[in-house]
Copies of this chain bind each other. A is one copy, B any other.
Amino acid sequence: MVSIISVAKAAGVSNKTVSRVINGEPYVTEETRERVEKAIRDLGYIPNMAARLIRSSRSNTFGIITDYVSTTPYSVDIVRGIQDWANANGKTILMANTGASSKREAEIWKMFQSHRIDGVLYVTMYRRTVDPEAGDVRIPTVMINCRPQTQELLPSIEPDDYQGAQDLTRYLLDRGHRKIGYIRLNPILLGAQLRLDAFRKTAADFGLAETDLSVRLGMEGPVGAEKNYVFAVATEMLQQKDRPTAIMSGNDEMTIQIYIAAMALGLRIPEDVSIVGFDDFRTVSLALKPELTTAALPYYDLGLEGAELLNSVVAGNKARPSSRVVPCKLVERTSVQSVSLIPSGRNA
């Protein structure tokens, strides 16, 4: 392999001078610099990161630990955000999945250490609390889409599920909906409770009674093997005599089933029922007709800001182990209609 030394020889300078050129240090004549650069080009020299790391003990590498994230369609955007940041800032990314095995997680931490990673981004597919198996390891860590379960506070970045659900509820309220159904996400997910709380609170603040709200559980059970009641529950909800004029659902994936349930009952969307989702999982939200109004989870930004935050932690900004929250953005499409347009007799 061609090293700094061969380049030095070819350019007729010392290896140190080559090093200077590579790293853009001062005190090199324009003329030598050019000679060295030519030699580098001619020989196709590429710096050896490993040697650099061994010398300077700075790997310029971040590790990503995920549960299933790279495996799941939802939060891949977190990874994309991280990669874009890394790319723009000359960092390298090492990525590994635990597959929810804590033995595997311990191995990953070891692997990261053996690569002398500068910092770790701990990412989960669903927003939840976790207990990193970092052991006695002391690598700067930022949590994305999750928060540490226990004592030791690590900085974290999470989506604002509450605000997202609040916006969505207001949106429906503003359009005259007064009977609203809600099909709940799997309650073991952190976001589920927050979204439900926001829905209830917002509706109550607006003056709706608990009886104006139909709240049903759509899914439950361990992630990856959950029971799915959505279709049945939606069907039941829409068959009520006094059925809701709008249904809000835990996520966009569940919404597919709500659409189908509604249509199977001969209901038109949005003329007969308005529907809103959550996530803006575009494979679904754009494929549904009418296209789905939903709250976009800021996954990409989570990744971007997480990397940025980790970088500042690594750089020494001891910083607050703050828990930052990133807002969701309401994406308005065509699955909601103002209630004044709904024939009034219809709902009786």
Contact = CB atoms under 8 A, between A and B. Distances in A.
22 contacts: A46-B114, A50-B53, A50-B115, A54-B54, A70-B70, A70-B79, A70-B80, A71-B79, A73-B283, A76-B76, A87-B96, A87-B97, A93-B94, A93-B96, A231-B289, A253-B283, A254-B287, A257-B288, A260-B263, A260-B289, A263-B263, A281-B283
A223 interface: no
Contacts of A110: 46
| Number of copies of this protein chain within its complex | 2
Given A49-B115, A94-B94, A256-B288, 7 more contacts: A46-B113, A70-B83, A87-B97, A87-B104, A260-B289, A261-B289, A263-B263
A281 B256 CA distance: 14
A266 B264 CA distance: 8
A170 interface: no
Q: Which of A95, A263, A283, A287 has the most CB of B within 10 A?
A: A287
A321 interface: no
B83 A48 contact: no
A243 to B, nearest CB: 18
A57 interface: yes
Contacts of A254: 287
A319 interface: no
Interface string A265-297: 010100000000000010110111100000000
B114 A47 contact: yes
Interface residues of A, number: 56
A50 B72 CA distance: 32
A80 B53 CA distance: 29
Given A257-B287, A260-B289, A283-B283, A92 B71 contact: no
A1 interface: yes
Interface string A89-101: 0001111110000
B92 A49 contact: no
A72 B95 CA distance: 17
A96 B70 contact: no
Contacts of A49: 50, 114-116
A96 B288 CA distance: 32
A122 interface: no
Interface string A108-132: 0011011110000000000000000
Nearest to A1: B57
A79 B54 CA distance: 30
A91 to B, nearest CB: 10
A133 B264 CA distance: 51
A149 B281 CA distance: 33
Given A70-B70, A95-B95, A97-B83, A54 B44 contact: no
Give the top 4 A-B pairs by smallest Cβ distance, nearest first. Answer: A73-B73, A263-B263, A50-B50, A256-B287
Interface string A142-155: 00000000000000
A38 B83 CA distance: 39
